[in-house]
Chain A
Amino acid sequence: MNDTPVVLSVEDVTIDTRPAGRKPIVRNITFDVREAETVCIVGESGSGKSVTSMAIMGLLPKDSLQVTGGRILLDGEDVLKVTPARMRELRASRVAMVFQEPMTALNPVKTVGDQIDEVLRLHTKLSAAERRKKVLHMMERVQLPDVERIYRSYPHQLSGGQRQRIVIAMALILRPRLLLADEPTTALDVTTQKQILRLIKELQEEEKTAVVFVTHDFGVVSEIADRIVVMNRGDLVETGTRDEILTHPKEDYTRMLVSSVPSLVPRCDPVPKNPKVMEVIGLAKRYGKKGFTSDSTVLAAQGISFTVRKGEITGIIGESGSGKSTVARCVMRLTEPSEGAVVLNGQDIVPMHNLRAVRKQVQYIFQDPYRSLNPRRTIGQSLMEGLVNYGVPEKEASRKAAETLEMVNLPAHVMNRYPHQFSGGQRQRIAIARAVVMEPSLLIADEAVSALDVTVQAQVLRLLEDIRTNTGVSILFITHDLRVAAQICNTIVVMQRGRIVEQGPARDVLAWPTHDYTRALIDAAPAPDWDFQNFRPVERAV
């Protein structure tokens, strides 16, 4: 391995805000990437991993960030010293980039064929016919179907996976020496993610491309990394081969980071036959209206039946478009169900007109802690609003809010602060406190930990479990992430295209799936056979 040439060499690089010297974002980091090698930069949000990759591309925002020290050598050429014109030449032809959001990374008003073609127009002297041939060939290589049609399509006409293939085609058409991939699969479903990862690997092997893969997802890392660079708050914590980092991490931070990754091994047993808190019977939701002649309605969910018992955590898992969020909204009647019954503590709430009494029993925790709290209200106001609304005297509401904050491990005196003064993880605790303070019998957590870093995610999951144990609340836990579901759910309901394909105790569903789709989901989850918490493969764990 060591006689293969080094493609990228990052030497002692420091990146600072402008004006310089206030607080470096990245401090003295050094690593190499060799031909055909994949180096994963892992870290939590704010670790400086994306900034590092932007610096290699020469794309740091000019007004706010600058490289203040070190060298970045690309095949021996220092990209920090080249002229802007030379840097533009290098982009796409020698170093290319794939971004996180395939939804926004493509220009919405140009056809995707034209956007790939642009790379060739800029960097080659080929004729229009030659370019077109080359683009179509590249589109075939990234395994797009019906390339002639897709060439003429606009981004909004393609799926997320197809768009990411277009971005990859754009990045690799000139056979660059180095590919920078910044969370390229984070926004995709697991099955699509698996395909894209395999595609990048195949193309890399054919072209001997060096790949820098920026990610927060250890599942992805364990699948593709040759070597791993761990970053934390701008510092390089440690580097090593994949097995070194995953099995014998030297630094405490790395140990904590790796062991926070939930494993696919289900942990929770089914709950005993407690009384039913919620029973959903034959629920269906149809969106859109039927016309006289046409039927443009979409059946987002149908034939949904499941039960949540007292103290039970029931997971609904599925990919985007599976209907899991529709179900979550219907059981609380945030969306009106089209058919079926939702029996909450013995009462069917679907025919009810006045939901005031019901609202108190079911509370919702949303995905994005940055947008679910009113920025102009203090934490105390947000927590007390619901209680006061249901007639609790202000004094008592305030006392209860303080107690609940302590329950989610926040000091009571933060009541007077505003949401922006808290981190993402703290905000999600506050959102949980806001739901729990109402003393509901059921909590609905809709992707409640999906936006959080793994270490924070682990803490929030632990918190939810503690709350369940202490208060006996039931939780309906909506997620796309099988690993998270395996950590916390007693029962799992698997949804695909609006239907339940399988349900049962988490133990059985995850260990012995009976439906093909469940099996496909488990297979597609990155590193299904790796037990991160115990730093070893799953086989030895069982």
Chain B
Amino acid sequence: MFGFVLKRVLSAIPVLLMVAVIVFLVLRLSPGDPAVMIAGPNATPEQLEDLRTSMGLNRPLLEQLFIWMGNIARGDFGVSLVSGKPVADLVMDRFGPTLALSITTVILAVAVAIPLGVIAAWQQGKWIDRLVMAGSVVGFSVPVFIIGYVLILIFARKLGWFPVQGYRPMSAGFGEFASRLVLPTVTLSFPYIALIARIVRTNVIEVMNEDYIRTARAKGLAERGVLMDHALGNAAVPIVTIVGVSITMLIGGVVVTESVFNIPGLGRLVLEAVLARDYTVIQTVILLFSTIYVFINLSVDLLYGLFDPRIRY
């Protein structure tokens, strides 16, 4: 088992290096001179030349790459082209809200979807199964921003249970923090509940036809035990896969949800940076997201090994 973990963790390192190189190249090779874009159309040739020297743009590409990677290793991600503040600070400021929203969404989605999927599988073909399946079609097809506005309309405007928008950090008090997270979390989790519940249902139904399920029943195990102890464990690998995929998809969904609920998170930062062509910020955020993807995939791989002894090679 230790060998398996070590092998997986080590194999993540070259992937991260490759990601860094690609992120670097994408911006260097995109059309246009970064110096012109930064200085604006009215800059004099002297100003542009100064800028190129200070940014190192006139050095060989490979040298630029090493300097850039060396800076990253020291935690220096450069300064924002728009505001002039260090990118690292900008990103860290926005990371909290996004992290909070992502974690609550994943927890809610998994906590709701797995029982729903298992119940649907157990009651296959009965009304409760059809209800769950119909609900999942709706949950998956309605766009996040529509669900968001509907929820705001009902629970914030009409009922007044939650604030309409905004974000307060944990330091402002747990009530303030949590009450503002409820609606965005519910909104964002809808499609993932639908997706995960379907996958859980399909896989549990498949596993329930296996011979070892019959063995478990022959032992005198009740249906509940058969489902929880034997079926779910064997359905775990595809479920973990889809949860992993969901988390990576979530990061894309966060951009929209944060706009709807006016949350100052990474999604908003990306949106602002793209609109303002703030390349250093975009670069850092892409790097951060990519790193998160790599770690999610690594966790999924490690969880496979945890759930299925046959995968520990």
Q: Which residues of A contact B (CB under 8 A)?
A: 57, 59, 85, 88-93, 96-97, 99, 101, 104-110, 118-119, 122-123, 154, 156, 167, 170
Write the B188-224 contact mask toward A (1 if CB under 8 angstroms, else 0).
0000000000000000000000111011111111100
**Which B216-237 residues have C-beta < 8 A from chain A?**
216-222, 225, 229-230, 233-234, 236
Given contacts A92-B220, A99-B211, 11 further A-B contacts (CB under 8 A): A59-B218, A85-B222, A88-B221, A92-B218, A96-B218, A108-B310, A109-B233, A109-B309, A122-B225, A156-B309, A170-B215
Is the CB–CB distance between A106 and B222 below 8 Å? no
Which chain A residues border B234 with CB–CB below 8 Å?
107-109
Please tell me if B308 contacts chain A, counting CB pairs below 8 Å.
yes
Bound-complex Cα distance A122 to B221 (A): 7
- Do residues A107 and B217 form an inter-chain contact, with CB atoms below 8 A? no
Q: State how many angstroms separate the Cβ of A123 from the closest Cβ of chain B.
A: 6
CA distance A85 to B223 in the complex (A): 11
Q: How far is the CB of A115 from chain B (nearest CB, A)?
A: 8
Question: For residue A156, which residues in chain B have a CB less than 8 angstroms away from its CB?
Answer: 309-310
A122 contact from B220, B236, B307, Cβ within 8 A? B220
Query: Per a CB cutoff under 8 Å, which of A91, A96, A108, A109 touches B217?
Result: A91
Q: A106 to B234, alpha carbons, bound, how many Å?
A: 12
Residues of B within 8 A of A167 (CB): 215
A107-B310 CB under 8 A given contacts A91-B218, A92-B219: no
What residues of A have a CB within 8 angstroms of the CB of B210 in the complex?
A: 104
Least Cβ distance of B197 to chain A in Å? 22
Which residues from B are CB-within-8-Å of A104?
Answer: 210-212
Contact B211 A91 (CB under 8 A): no
A170-B212 in contact given A108-B309, A154-B309, A154-B310 (Cβ < 8 Å)? no
CA distance A110 to B210 in the complex (A): 15
Nearest-neighbor residue (CB-CB) of B211 within chain A: A104
Closest 7 CB pairs of A and B: A91-B220, A104-B211, A88-B220, A107-B212, A154-B309, A97-B218, A92-B220
Chain B residues contacting A110 (CB-CB under 8 Å) are 230, 233
Distance of B100 from chain A, by nearest CB (Å): 34
Q: Is the CB of B219 within 8 A of A119?
A: yes
Residue in contact with B214 in the complex, picked from A90, A92, A99, A108, CB distance below 8 Å: A99
Q: Closest residue of chain A to B312, judged by CB?
A: A154
Asked if residues A105 and B220 are in contact (CB atoms below 8 Å), the reply is no
Interface centre among A90, A91, A123 (most CB of B within 10 A): A91
Q: Which of A93, A97, A107 has the most CB of B within 10 A?
A: A107
Q: State A51–B229 Cα separation when bound (angstroms).
A: 26
Q: How far is the CA of A123 from the CA of B218 in the complex (A)?
A: 12
Are B220's CB and A93's CB within 8 A? yes
Q: Is the CB of A107 within 8 A of B216?
A: yes
B101-127 residues at the A interface, CB under 8 angstroms? none
Closest B residue to A89 by CB, please name it: B220
What secondary structure prevails in chain B residues at the interface with A?
A: helix
Please give me the residue from chain B that is nearest to A97 by CB atom: B218
Of B212, B222, B230, B307, chain A has the most CB atoms within 10 Å of the CB of B212
16 contacts between A and B (CB under 8 A): A88-B221, A89-B220, A90-B220, A91-B217, A91-B220, A99-B214, A99-B218, A101-B211, A107-B216, A107-B233, A109-B233, A109-B309, A118-B219, A118-B229, A122-B221, A154-B310
- Which chain B residues lie closer than 8 Å to A170 at the CB level? 215, 219
The residues of B that contact A92 with a CB separation of less than 8 Å are 218-220
- In the assembled complex, the Cα of A428 lies from the Cα of B225 at a distance in Å of 43
| Closest B residue, CB atoms, query A88 | B220
Question: Contact flags (1/0) for B295-313 with A, using CB distance below 8 Å?
Answer: 0000000000001111000
C-alpha gap A88/B220 in the complex (Å): 4
Known contacts A154-B309, A156-B309, A156-B310; A106/B212 CB under 8 A: yes
* Least Cβ–Cβ distance between B229 and chain A, in angstroms: 8
CA distance A119 to B236 in the complex (A): 23
Closest CB-CB distance, A159 to chain B, in whole Å? 16
Task: With a 10 A CB-CB cut-off, give which of B215, B218, B233 has the most chain A CB atoms.
Answer: B218
- What are the residues of chain A within 8 A of B229 when measuring CB–CB? 118
Within 8 A of A (CB), among B133-155: none
A72 to chain B, nearest CB (A): 16
Q: Which residues of A contact B222 (CB under 8 A)?
A: 85, 88
Known: A110-B233, A154-B310, A156-B309. A105 touches B219 (CB 8 A): no
Please state if B309 and A105 are interface contacts (CB–CB under 8 Å). no
Give B310 Cβ to nearest chain A Cβ, in Å. Answer: 5
With a cutoff of 8 Å between Cβ atoms, the chain B residues found around residue A59 in the complex are 214, 217-218
User: Across the two chains, which residue of chain B brings its CB closest to A109?
Assistant: B233
Q: Does the CB pair A106–B219 fall under 8 Å?
A: no
Contacts of B230 in A (CB 8 A): 107, 110
Contacts A104-B210, A107-B234, A108-B212 given; does A57 touch B308 at CB 8 Å: no
Query: B160 to nearest A CB, angstroms?
Result: 48
What chain A residues lie within 8 Å of B221 (beta carbons)? 88, 118, 122
* Cα separation A463 to B38 with both chains bound (whole Å): 86
- Please, which residue of chain B has its CB at the minimum distance from the CB of A58? B217
Complex Cα spacing A119 to B215, Å: 11
Measured CB to CB, the closest approach of chain B to A513, in angstroms, equals: 37
Verify A91–B219 contact, CB threshold 8 A. Answer: yes
B241 nearest CB across to chain A (Å):
15
CA distance A90 to B212 in the complex (A): 19
Across the interface, which residues of A come within 8 angstroms of B216, CB to CB?
A: 107, 118
**Minimum Cβ distance to chain A for residue B293 (Å):** 27
A101 to B212, CA, bound (A): 10
Complex Cα distance, B210 from A108, in Å, reads 11
Chain B residue contacts of A96, Cβ below 8 A: 218
**Roughly how many angstroms separate A125 CA and B308 CA in the complex, as a whole number?**
30
A79 and B210 CA atoms in complex are apart in Å by: 25
Distance between Cα atoms of A33 and B216 in the complex (Å): 25
Chain B residues whose CB sits within 8 angstroms of the CB of A57 once the complex forms = 218
List of A residues within 8 angstroms of B214 by Cβ: 59, 99, 105
**Is the CB–CB distance between B218 and A109 below 8 Å?**
no
Residues on A with C-beta less than 8 A from B219 are 91-92, 118-119, 122, 170
Bound-complex Cα distance A167 to B220 (A): 14
Cβ–Cβ < 8 Å partners of A123 in chain B: 220
Residues of chain A within 8 A of B233, CB atoms compared: 107, 109-110
Q: How far is the CA of A88 from the CA of B235 in the complex (A)?
A: 24
Q: Which residue of A lies closest to B212 (CB)?
A: A107
The answer for the CA separation of A91 and B218 in the assembled complex, in Å, is: 6
Shortest distance from the beta carbon of B221 to any chain A beta carbon, whole Å: 6
- Chain B, residue nearest A102 (CB): B211
Contacts of B308 in A (CB 8 A): 108-109
Q: Return the chain A residue nearest B237 by Cβ.
A: A109
Shortest distance in angstroms between B195's beta carbon and chain A's nearest beta carbon?
A: 24
